[in-house]
Structure 1
Amino acid sequence: MAAFDTPRTVSDSAILFGRIGAAICTVIGAIADWNDARITRNALSALSDRELEDIGLSRGEIDLIAQHKASF
């Protein structure tokens, strides 16, 4: 009986699939961030000016809050 044994190393296809997987994860993360910002923007936009004032915001700050760029 004969045995055929070859050492296996990381091939180029494995590296390619790893890069494709990382790219897919990046796209999914970007979509999730966009959706979170959209939900926040919609919720804050639905508030009246008085309600926004009660929580210390103005209508002009909604986009900043939705994009997490405001400092608290």
Structure 2
Amino acid sequence: MAAFETNRLAAPGAGVGIVGRLVASVAAWNDARVTRKALSRLSDRELDDIGLSRGDIDMISAR
């Protein structure tokens, strides 16, 4: 019986060109958007409990 991995999309190092960078940029933008949205939904009290203020949201989501 043959065994093979089904969770690997391509050989290591493949897709590192323009398309790979574009996909990585879109993924990073989406992560920042989701983080910003989640933090924006918190109340000022909840933000204070985790040591943040409304002014910190953009800085945190850009990381």
TM bucket, shorter chain: 0.7 to 0.9
TM-score (norm 2): 0.75
Structure with greater Cα Rg: 1
Q: Pairwise mapping of residues 11-22 of structure 1 onto structure 2 (< 5 A)? A: 22=17
1:58 matched to which residue of 2?
Answer: 53
Describe the SS at the equivalent of 2:51: coil
Which residue type is aligned with residue 60 of structure 1? G
1:43 equivalent to 2:38? Answer: yes
Q: Distance in 2 between matches of 1:21 and 1:54?
A: 41
Q: Distance in 2 between matches of 1:51 and 1:21?
A: 40
Residue-by-residue CA offset, 1:20-67 (whole Å, 9 max, x unaligned): 860000000000000000000000000000000000000000000000
Describe the SS at the equivalent of 1:28: helix
Gaps of 5+ in 2: 1-13
- Equivalent residues, number: 50
Q: Distance in 2 between matches of 1:49 and 1:23?
A: 41
**Greater helix fraction, Structure 1 or Structure 2:** 1
Question: Relative contact order (alpha carbons < 8 A, sep ≥ 6): 1 or 2 greater?
Answer: 2
Q: Distance in 2 between matches of 1:66 and 1:32?
A: 13
